[in-house]
């Protein structure tokens, strides 16, 4: 079985390789057994539209691949071809492709990162298809590349630029919501946290890693035998004072609150329990929300647009 799969892998790779001539710089994929990547520098007219400064070299990097699992299914007649193309900065010094768009002055025209599975390969007759119509792999690449650089076209690229603008607007909202929660954590609960904020400043990826929350609770205060940050105690007290004013203003006097106030033991239980929830559980929930948001930010920023 292993030999059969390896044979299929080699067969598919040969089909991929034979589809391109020497003008295309093919490189074997490092993260997949099946497929190739293609590096292509942008044409002069695209470079001019992007307004690239400091003679930086931007390139498109295309991945053509087929999932191993699809290949293992021998009864599968047509194999989905995964195509992903990204706009990257090619760093000659380190010989690396990196996300860094700060040298593109006209960023609304920037080629978009896209992915598609709209094409298939029939391994029996070694033929590629698009909507059941035969097509050459080199033509597939040309189609995807044209979509990739479509934002550089004033009219035809408008729908793509709208998608990108919507994504940036969503990123802006998520980023600011995340920063608001972080400020609340510090201002109300005296928590200083460092999280993975993967945002684009002038479209430059800021890469940092998650750190555990660090509690700067040097000033503690004892409240009915419960030790907590003085800032948290103050916030907790203000919350209840505002709640009291609201209940008084609307003439709302719940029986359960009356019972708690009338009995010292119930008051003590309520204060300790609610303080624990307010000072421990709520910050944990907020920190979790921040991390989820930051993961979403990274997904939206660097995940290709499906076409």
Q: What is the pLDDT of residues 127-164, one digit of tens each?
A: 999 988 999 999 999 999 998 998 888 787 787 778 77
Is the per-residue pLDDT at 30 higher than 90?
A: no
Give pLDDT, residue 303: 65
Same domain, 72 and 101: yes
Q: What is the pLDDT of residue 305?
A: 65
DSSP letter at 113 equals P
Let me know if residue 160 belongs to a domain: no
Q: Is the pLDDT of residue 261 over 80?
A: no
Name the residue with higher pLDDT: 251 or 204: 251
* Domain contains 161: no
Q: Which range is least confidently modeled, 1-10, 108-117, 183-192?
A: 1-10
Provide the β-strand partners of residue 221: 228
148 and 220 in a single domain? The answer is no
Structure-model confidence comparison of residues 120 and 213, the more confident one: 120
Q: What does the alpha-carbon distance between residue 300 and residue 170 come to, in Å, rounded to a whole number? A: 8
Is residue 162 a part of any domain in this protein? no
In a domain, 163, yes or no: no
Look at residue 165 and tell me if it is in a domain: no
Residue 51, domain member (yes or no): yes
Q: Collect all residues with Cβ–Cβ distance below 8 Å to 286 and sequence separation of at least 6.
A: 181, 184, 185
On whether both 9 and 147 belong to a single domain, the answer is: yes
Mean pLDDT is highest, among 29-43, 63-77, 266-280, for 29-43
- Using the Cα atoms of residue 157, residue 163, residue 164 and residue 168 in order, give the sign of their dihedral: positive
| Rounded CA separation 9/32 (Å) | 10
Mean pLDDT value of segment 205-223: 48
159 lies in some domain: no
Task: Report the predicted TM-score, pTM, of the whole model to 2 decimal places.
Answer: 0.61
Q: Would you say residue 54 has pLDDT above 80?
A: yes
Q: Are 96 and 67 in contact (CB under 8 A)?
A: no
Enter the tokens of residue 180.
């608001």
Is 196 buried (19+), middle (13-18) or exposed (0-12) by CB count in 10 A?
middle
* Last-in-domain residue among 152, 186, 210: 152
Distance CA 199, CA 175 (A): 8
Domain stops at, among 119, 152, 185: 152
Give the pLDDT score at 200: 35
Closest Cα to residue 188, out of 149, 235, 223, 228?
Answer: 235
Best CA proximity match to 283, nearest among 207, 222, 217, 238? 217
| 122 and 7 belong to one structural domain | yes
Using an 8 Å Cβ cutoff, are 229 and 217 in contact? yes
Q: Residue 207's pLDDT is what?
A: 41
| Beta-bridge mates of residue 223 | 226
What is the percentage of the chain residues whose pLDDT exceeds 70? 81
Q: How far apart are CA 119 and CA 128, in angstroms?
A: 7
180 with 212, same domain? Answer: yes
* pLDDT of the residue at 220: 63
Instruction: Kindly tell me if the per-residue pLDDT of 293 is higher than 80.
Output: yes
Q: Is 61 left (phi over 0), alpha (psi -120 to 50) or beta?
A: beta
Same domain, 39 and 76: yes
Asked if residue 147 and residue 177 are part of one domain, the reply reads no
Asked if residue 6 is part of any domain, the answer here is yes
Residue 145 shares a structural domain with residue 178? no
CA dihedral 9→14→20→22, nearest 10 degrees, is 120
Q: pLDDT, tens digit, for every residue of 220-253?
A: 666 555 666 777 777 888 888 888 788 778 877 7
pLDDT at 73: 67
pLDDT band for position 76 (cuts 50, 70, 90): low
Residue 209 reports pLDDT greater than 60 = no
CB 49 within 8 A of CB 160: no
Identify the residue with better confidence: 68 or 206.
68
Query: 194 lies in which domain range?
Result: 171-305
Q: Are 103 and 184 in the same domain?
A: no
Residues 7 and 101 in one domain: yes
Round the average pLDDT of the chain to a whole number and report it: 78
Residues 132, 27 within the same domain: yes
Using the 3D structure, point to which of 122, 152, 182 is the last residue of a domain.
152
At 215 the three-state DSSP class reads strand
Q: Which neighbouring-strand residues pair with 127?
A: 122
In this predicted structure, the answer to whether residue 180 has a pLDDT above a threshold of 50 is yes
- Does the structure show a pLDDT above 70 at 263? no
Count: domains in the chain: 2
Whether 194 and 123 map to the same domain: the answer is no
């Amino acid at each position: 079985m292993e030999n059969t799969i390896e044979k299929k892998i080699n067969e598919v790779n040969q089909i991929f390789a034979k589809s391109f001539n020497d003008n295309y710089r093919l490189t074997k994929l490092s993260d997949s057994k099946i497929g190739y990547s293609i590096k292509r520098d942008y044409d002069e007219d695209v470079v001019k539209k992007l307004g690239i400064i400091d003679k930086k070299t931007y390139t498109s990097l295309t991945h053509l691949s087929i999932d191993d699992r699809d290949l293992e299914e021998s009864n599968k007649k047509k194999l989905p071809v995964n195509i992903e193309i990204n706009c990257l900065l090619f760093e000659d010094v380190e010989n690396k492709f990196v996300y860094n768009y700060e040298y593109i002055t006209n960023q609304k025209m920037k080629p978009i990162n896209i992915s598609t599975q709209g094409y298939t390969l029939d391994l029996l007759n070694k033929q590629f298809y698009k909507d059941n119509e035969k097509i050459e792999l080199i033509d597939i690449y040309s189609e995807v590349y044209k979509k990739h650089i479509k934002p550089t076209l004033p009219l035809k690229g408008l729908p793509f630029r709208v998608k990108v603008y919507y994504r940036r607007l969503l990123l802006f909202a998520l980023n600011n919501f995340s920063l608001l929660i972080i400020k609340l954590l510090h201002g109300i609960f005296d928590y200083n946290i460092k999280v993975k904020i993967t945002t684009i400043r002038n479209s430059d990826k800021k890469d940092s890693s998650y750190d555990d929350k660090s509690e700067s609770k040097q000033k503690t205060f004892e409240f009915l035998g419960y030790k907590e940050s003085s800032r948290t105690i103050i916030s907790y007290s203000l919350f209840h004072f505002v709640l009291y004013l609201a209940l008084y203003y609307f003439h709302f006097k719940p029986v359960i609150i009356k019972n708690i106030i009338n009995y010292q033991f119930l008051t003590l239980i309520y204060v300790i329990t609610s303080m624990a929830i307010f000072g421990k559980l709520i910050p944990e929930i907020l920190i979790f929300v921040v991390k989820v948001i930051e993961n979403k930010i990274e997904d939206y920023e660097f995940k290709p647009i499906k076409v």
